[in-house]
Chain A
Amino acid sequence: MNGLPILTLIIFTPAVGALLLSFVDRKNESVMRQGALMISLVTLLLSLVMLTSFDKSLGSYQFEEIQAWVPSLGISYHLGIDGISILLVLLTTFTMPLVFLSTWKCVTDRVKEFQICLLLLQSGMLGAFLALDLIFFYLFWEAMLIPMYFIIGIWGGQRRIYAAIKFFIYTMVGSLLMFVAMLWIYKHAGTFDLPTILASLQSNPMAREEQLWLFAAFALSFAIKVPIFPLHTWLPDAHVEAPTAGSVVLAGVLLKMGTYGFLRFGMPLFPDATVVFTPWICWLALIGIVYGACMALVQNDIKKLVAYSSVSHLGYVVLGIFMYRQANGADSVEGIVGAILQMVNHGLSTGMLFLLIGIIYERRHTRQLANYGGIAKVVPIYSVFFIIATLSSIGLPGLNGFVGEFLILLGVFKVEPLYAVIASTGVVLGAVYMLTLTRRFLFGPLVHEENAHIADVSAREIVYLTPIVVMMVWIGLGSKSFTDLVEPTVIQYLDLLR
C-alpha cells in the first residue's frame, strides 16, 4: 500500500475524530451529528480503499504493520488483515455510518458524549479485529467494553444500570481469565506476537494439559461474548436496555468478537485442546440453536425476541467454526467459510431488525408486541423493510442468510451429519418465531387506536435502511465475490490446525 499505514488509519480515524469532536461546543448538536457521520464515512472509504488493493488470492496477512512497543516484554504494535478479518472489518465500517444516521432523532440527551462513545467504540472494534499481538488485542477488547458500558448505562432504558453492570461484569470475568492465559503463553513463547507464537508452537508445542486450561480460559471469555448457552442471559437484558445504536452495534459487530476470537486465537494457539473441547462446544451450540429459538418464540418484547434469535443464530456460527475436519482428515472448508460469512449476515439482518425496532420505538415508545398488530396498513414501506429483514433472518434463498446457513450446514454435514440434522431444525423454528413476530406485529386488524397515525419511514430512515437491503441481495446472489475473499485464508488456516 505504498508504505501508507492503511490499517492504522482505519483504526484510529474514529478515535481521532472523537478527539476533534471533543473540542466542538456541545450546543452545536447538528455539527456533532454530521461530524461523527462524516468521520465514519471516511473510515468506510479508507476500508474500501484497502479492499481495492487486498490480494484475495493470498491466504496470509496483508498490509502488515510491525512496530516494537515494549521490546523487553515482547509486546509489539502489530496489525494485519486476512480473509478471516476482512469481512468483519468491512462489516464494522459499513455498519457505523448507518448507526450514526439512525441516532439523529432519537438521541437528544448528551449528544456530544454519545457520538464520542460510539466513535471510540468503533476504534476499539476495528483494533480488536486487526491486532495481531495478544496484548494489543486485549487492550482493544477491553477498550470496547467501556464505551458500550456507558452507552447502555447512560442512554439505556429503565433498568439500564442493572443491564450495564451485568454486561460489564460478565465480560470482565471472562477477559481477566483470558489475560492470565495470555501471560502464561508469554512465559512459554517469550513474546506476545501472535504469528511468532504460532511459529514457535510448531517446533515447541505446549503440553496437552497446559493447553486445556489455557483454552478453557480463552474459551470462557469468547463464549460469554458469543454468547454460548448457558452464558447468554446478559444478552437479552443488554439488548432490551440499550438504546437502538447500542443494540445495533452489539448485535451487528460486538457479538462476532467471540467467534472471531475463537478463530484467531483460541483454536490455532491450542489445537490439541480444540479437538478435546470441540464436542462440548458443539453440543452447547446445538442446544443454543434450539433453545434460543424456543425462547424467542415466547417473548413479548420485540427486542428480547431478536436477542434470543441471536443466541440461536450464533450457534450456527460456532458450529461451523468447529466442524472443520472430517473423520478421514480431509478439511471441510465450507463450514468455516460459511461461518465467517454468516457473521456478516447476522450483523446485517439483526442490525437491520434493531434499527427497525428503534424506528417504531421512537414513534410509539413501546416494544411490547401486544401494543401492535395491523400496522402494515399504516406504515407500508416500513413493513416492506421489516419483512425483508425477517426473510433475511430466516434464511430465505436468494438473500444473504441462506448462503451462510447453507454452507455451515453443508460443512457440518460432511463432518458430523447428526449435528447438521439437529441444527437444521433451527431452520424450521426460525421461521416459526420470526413469522409469528411479523404476524403479530404487522398483520391482523388494527386494534390500537394510537397506532392509526404512526408516520411511515422518513427519507433519512430509507437512506440508512436501503444499503442493508442492497447488501442482503448482493451477498444472497453474488456470494462468490465475498467467499473468494475468505477462502484462501481458510485453506491456509486449516493447515495450521494440523
Chain B
Amino acid sequence: MESNLIWIPLLPFLGFVVNGLFGKKFGPKFVSWVGALAPISAFFVAVGVFLHLSRAQGDGHAGALHQHVFDWIKVGDFTASFGLLADNLTSVMCLVILGVGSLIHLYSIDYMRGDKGYYRFFAYLNLFTAFMLLLVLGDNLLLMFVGWEGVGLCSYLLIGFWFEDKANARAGQKAFIVNRIGDFGMLLAIFLCQRYFGTIDTRAVGEACAQGLGGDTLLWGLDLATWISLLFFVGATGKSAQIPLYVWLPDAMAGPTPVSALIHAATMVTSGVYLCCRMMPVFEASPITLNVIAAVGACTALLAALIALSQNDIKKVLAYSTVSQLGYMFFAIGMGAFGAAFFHVVTHAFFKALLFLGSGSVIHAMHHEQDMRKMGGLKKQLPFTYVCYMVGTLAIAGVPLFAGFFSKDEILFAGFEQAFGEHPSSFAAVFWGVSVLTAGLTAFYMLRSVAMTFWGESRVDPKLLPSVREPGRWIGFALFFLALLAMFGGFLGVPEFLPIPFVADNVLGEFTHLAHGHGDLTEAQLGALHSREWISLLISVFVGLSGLGIAFYLYGPGKALLAKLVVTSPSGRRLRSWSENKFYVDEFYEFFVKGFHAASHLTWALIDQLLIDKILVEGTAAFTKGTGHMFRRMQSGFIPAYLLTFGWGALVLIIMLLLKDAGH
C-alpha cells in the first residue's frame, strides 16, 4: 500500500505532461480522455488508501501510510525529503479533491468545448490537481510548501487563462502576488521550526508543540508556538482569502467557471484550513493565535457577506460567499473546533462546487453573460440547473438535513459553547454573534441570487432567449452528483444528540481524530450540554430561515424586482453604496501600490541616475578630465593613454610602498 501513495499526485501530473506536450497535436477528444482519466484513476488509488486506513481504524490500530520517495534537500542539519504521508485526515481530503475534482474535469469537457486553449486548460487543471495533492500529502512543511506555491501558480495560470483580456492577466498577477505576501509568513514559520525544533517534519513539529516545547518567549512577549502558528496563519490568510489578504479571490473569478469551482471554492482556498488541521497541536498550543484566528475569521465572514449582498455579478456573489464561508471555517478553528472546520471544508466543497457549476451552466447557456440584472425567469429555460442551484442554496443557507446545516451548526455551536458554556467568555460571545448574523446574511444573499437569476420576469436579451437551453450531458452529470452530495453529505457529521436513523454519529470527526469526544462527562453535564446544543441549533435554523424569508419577501415572485434595488433611506443608501464598492478596500490597497511605484521611480531617478551615475561616477570622470585640462599636454583624448598613466601611477605607488617597507 505504501508505495501506491506517489501515484495519487503522479497520475494527474502525468496527465499534465501528456496533455501539455501532445494535447495540441492529438485534438480535443484525446485531451478530454487523458485530462479526465488522470484524476479519476488517482481517485481510485485514493479510495484504496482510504479503505486501507479505515480497515486499520476498525482493527483499532489507527495509523498512517508513509512513503519516502527520495531525498530532496539535505544540507548541514537540514533535511527535507520528498516523502508522502497519508493519515485519516489526508485520505479524506484526497477523496474530496479527487472526487469533486473528477466531476469538475468531466464538467469542463462540455464547458470548455471549442475553446482554442482546450488542451492548455486540461493540462493546467491536471497540474493543479497534482500540486493540490502534493500539498495535502507532503510529510514535511517544505514539501507542503511546494504544493502550496504550485497551486498558486496554477491558479495564476488559470485565472489568466484568457490572457488576451488585460483584466484577466491582471487578476492572475494580483492573486499570485497577494499569495506571495502570505507565503512570506509561511517561509518564516518554516525557518522558526527548523531553528528551534531542528525539524520541519509535520508530525515532529506537532509533537514538539504538544510537549510544550514552544513555550519559550521569543519576541515581544509572545512565545514560539504563538509566533509559528501566527505566521502559518499569515500564510493561510493569503491562500484562504482572509482579511487582509482576501482581495485577490473576487478578482480571481476572471478565470473559467470550472476553475472557480475547483480551485477558488472547493479545494485550493481551503488549504489554509487544512494547514491548521494538519498542524493542530501547534495552534492548540497558543490561545492567543486561536483568538486572533477567531476574530479574523468572524470579521471576514461578516465583511464578505455584507459585500455579497449587493453584487450583481453571479460569480462575484459566490466569490464573496466563499470568502465568507472560509471565514466561518477559521472562526471554528479559533474556537478550537478543528473537526467542525474540516467538516465545513468538506460540505462546502460539495455545495459551493455545485453552486459554481450551476452558475457556470447559466453563464454557458447565456453566452458568457454574468450580470444577474440581465437574467431573470431562467427556471423555465434551465429547470435542471435551477433545481441544482436551489439545492446548493438550501445547503449553504443551513436548511435542516442539507449538507451545510450540519457543519454550520457544529461551528455555531462551538462558538456558542465558548460564549455561554461552562466557562462563558464575552470575547467568544461577540464573535459568535457576528457569525450568527452572517448566517442570516448568507441565506439572504443566496436566495437573492436565485431570485434574480431564476425567478420573476425575464430580463434576458430577447434575441438571446431562444438559444438559452440546458448545456451538455457532462455538465448535467456533474451537477447531479454534486447535488446528491450537497443533499446528503452532511450525514458524515451528525451530532450525537440528533437521533437520525441509520446514520452513525460524527463519522468524519472521529475518523479524522480532529473532534474531541466528551466521553468523560457526567450524565448531568451531558444533559446540560445537549440542551445547549438544542438551543444553538434552533437559533441557527431560525436565523437561516429568516434570511431566506426576508429575501423571499423582497425578491420573491410577484414583486417587481427593480423597485427593491433602491433602498430609500439615506443611511441605507450609504450602506448599500459601501457594500457595492466593496468598502473601498481595493482602492485603499491600490493607493499604497501606486505610492510604492512612484517612490521607486523617484529613487531610480534621484539615486541611481543622478547621485551615483551623474554626480559620483561621471563627476569623477569630469574631475579627471578637468584636471587633465590643466595638464594640457597630457590630454590626448585617447583612452588607453589615460589608462596607461593610471597604471604607471599605480606602479609608482606600489614601488614606493615596497621601498618604504624595505627601509625598515
Contacts and interface: CB of A to CB of B under 8 A. Distances in A.
A484 B79 CA distance: 13
B78 A410 contact: yes
B112 interface: no
B169 A444 contact: yes
Contacts of A484: 74
Contacts of A443: 160, 163-164, 166, 169
A377 interface: yes
Nearest to A295: B604
Given A333-B75, A427-B180, A442-B163, A397 B169 contact: no
Given A230-B612, A444-B164, A398 B654 contact: no
A178 B183 CA distance: 42
A463 interface: no
A172 B597 contact: no
A337 B73 CA distance: 11
Given A424-B184, A445-B166, A298 B75 contact: no
Interface string B586-617: 00000000001101110110011000110011
Contacts of B145: 397
Given A413-B195, A480-B71, A487-B75, A391 B176 contact: no
Contacts of A483: 73-75
B72 A477 contact: yes
A391 to B, nearest CB: 7
A397 B146 contact: yes
Nearest to A229: B612
B18 to A, nearest CB: 16
B163 A444 contact: yes
A439 B174 CA distance: 11
A479 interface: yes
B73 A407 contact: yes
A273 B218 CA distance: 32
A435 B177 contact: yes
Contacts of A428: 177, 180-181, 184
Contacts of A332: 76
Contact of A298 (B195, B600, B617): B600
Contacts of A180: 650, 653-654, 657
Contact of B194 (A230, A297, A410, A425): A410
Contacts, number: 149
B661 interface: yes
B153 interface: yes
B88 to A, nearest CB: 27
A427 B142 CA distance: 16
Interface stretch (B330-338, B425-433, B639-647): B639-647
Contacts of B599: 294
A134 to B, nearest CB: 14
A156 to B, nearest CB: 16
Interface string A403-435: 100110111011001001100110110011001
A187 interface: yes
Contacts of A176: 646-647, 650
Interface in A173-198: 176, 179-180, 183-184, 187
B187 A427 contact: yes
B505 interface: no
A477 B170 CA distance: 30
Band of interface residues on B: 35 or more
B529 to A, nearest CB: 45
Nearest to B143: A397
A333 B76 contact: yes
Contacts of A230: 607, 612, 616
Contact of B146 (A165, A233, A398): A398
A398 B187 CA distance: 15
Nearest to A433: B600
* Of listed A396, A435, A436, residue having the most chain B CB within 10 A: A435
A427 B183 contact: yes
A446 interface: yes
Contact of B195 (A403, A407, A414): A414
Contacts of B608: 233, 295
Nearest to B613: A233
Contacts of A413: 188, 191, 194-195
Interface string B64-108: 000000111111101000100000000000000000000000000
A278 to B, nearest CB: 19
A374 interface: yes
B654 A444 contact: no
B173 interface: yes
Contacts of B188: 413, 420-421, 424
B165 interface: yes
Contacts of A118: none
B149 interface: yes
A127 interface: no
A241 interface: no
B166 A444 contact: yes
Interface in B21-56: none
Given A439-B169, A445-B166, A165 B191 contact: no
Contact of B78 (A334, A417, A421, A445): A334
Contacts of B146: 397-398
Nearest to A398: B146
Interface string A363-376: 00000000000101
B647 A480 contact: no
Nearest to B160: A443
Contacts of A403: 73
Nearest to A430: B180
Nearest to B81: A480
B173 A436 contact: yes
Given A233-B612, A414-B195, A297 B658 contact: no
B339 interface: no
A298 B650 contact: no
A294 B617 contact: no
Nearest to B181: A428
Contacts of B604: 294-295, 298
A80 interface: no
A274 B258 CA distance: 57
A33 interface: no
Nearest to A165: B639
Interface in A108-137: none
A291 B607 CA distance: 10
A147 interface: no
Given A233-B613, A333-B76, A431-B177, A377 B164 contact: yes
B654 A410 contact: no
Contacts of A169: 643
A97 interface: no
A246 interface: no
Interface in B144-183: 145-146, 148-150, 153, 156, 160, 163-166, 169-170, 172-173, 176-177, 180-181, 183
CB-CB nearest 3 A-B residue pairs: A333-B76, A443-B169, A397-B146
Interface of B: 70-76, 78, 82, 142, 145-146, 148-150, 153, 156, 160, 163-166, 169-170, 172-173, 176-177, 180-181, 183-184, 187-188, 191, 194-195, 596-597, 599-601, 603-604, 607-608, 612-613, 616-617, 639, 643, 646-647, 650, 653-654, 657-658, 661
16 contacts: A165-B639, A172-B643, A176-B646, A179-B654, A183-B657, A291-B603, A334-B75, A337-B76, A410-B194, A417-B195, A425-B184, A427-B187, A428-B180, A428-B181, A439-B160, A480-B74
Interface of A: 165-166, 169, 172, 176, 179-180, 183-184, 187, 230, 233, 291, 294-295, 297-298, 331-334, 337-338, 374, 376-377, 391, 396-398, 403, 406-407, 409-411, 413-414, 417, 420-421, 424-425, 427-428, 431-432, 435-436, 439, 442-446, 477-480, 483-484, 487
Given A406-B187, A439-B160, A480-B73, 19 more contacts: A172-B646, A176-B650, A179-B650, A180-B657, A183-B658, A230-B612, A230-B616, A233-B608, A233-B612, A396-B150, A397-B146, A410-B191, A428-B180, A439-B169, A442-B163, A444-B169, A479-B73, A480-B71, A480-B74
